[in-house]
Amino acid sequence: MEFSTADHARISDAIRVAETRTSGEIVCVFARSSSDYSHVPVLWGAVGALAAPWPLMALTDLSVQRIFLAQIAVFVALTLLLSLPALRMMLVPRSVRRARAHRAAVEQFFTRGLSRTKERNGILIYVSLAEHYARIVADEGIAAKAQQAEWQQAIDTLVTHAREDRVADGFIAAMNICAEVMAQHYPPGGDENLLPNRVYVI
């Protein structure tokens, strides 16, 4: 999934229009993956290498040196094989993927400056492709006034579009829903446009 120049422009325009309806700030982040999970292939390679000697000792007459070499070969082969992105992701428990994606979303919220608005009324719309994860992170000002159920419609809309491989359209549709929620509590006026109107692809 790649964002075209046209997609970037459409999302930027949509953010600009949405922010005319509210004094809040909206930032969009699209992550190809929230973590590289580089430890996973090494971990499973080590497990395979530790398990390899037992059947070799039980079923063969190989020397200790050859069994040791077999262990190294198993470790290298498994680590390389499981480094393939699709296989690596399959080995990561869903709970771990969600936790990593949630942490990345919160980190992006602070990295992109959303916590610096005067009325604490910024939101981050975050999508992580590898983890199949979408979340809206709202600053404390707007979070205290808007219920989670109000954001859920935006998340559901975003996920529906993402499943159809239309993530850019999903960002725009979700943003419009969020702008409606934000406008109820933070109408236009107040903070100036503090943050860039763009989607960050990481």
Phi, psi of 112 (to 5 degrees): -85, 5
pLDDT at res. 191:
57
pLDDT tens, residue by residue, 63-84 = 999 999 999 999 999 999 999 9
Measured over all CA atoms, what is the biggest interatomic distance in the chain, rounded to whole angstroms?
81
Q: Which amino acid is at 51?
A: A
User: Could you give the percent of the chain with pLDDT greater than 90?
Assistant: 81
Of 55, 48, 43, residue with least CA distance to 73:
48
pLDDT value of residue 194:
81
Per the structure block, which two tokens stand in for 8? 């970037």
Taking residues 176-180, report their average pLDDT.
95
142-162 residue pLDDT tens: 999 998 888 999 999 999 999
User: Once rounded to an integer, what is the mean pLDDT over residues 92-120?
Assistant: 94
pLDDT at 22 over 90: yes
Find, among 87, 86, 182, 171, the residue nearest to 138 by Cα: 182
Structure confidence at residue 2 (pLDDT): 75
CATH topology of domain 5-36+93-201: Diaminopimelate Epimerase; Chain A, domain 1 (3.10.310)
Write down the pLDDT at residue 190: 60
Non-local CB neighbours of 22 within 8 Å, separated by 6+ positions: 121, 179, 182, 183, 186, 187, 188
Q: Write out the two tokens for 155.
A: 């998340």
Question: pLDDT, tens digit, for every residue of 112-148?
Answer: 999 988 899 999 999 999 999 999 999 999 999 998 8
List, in sequence order, the alpha helices (H) in the chain: 5-19, 39-51, 53-59, 64-81, 85-90, 94-111, 140-143, 148-163, 167-185
Domain edges within the chain: 5-36+93-201, 39-90
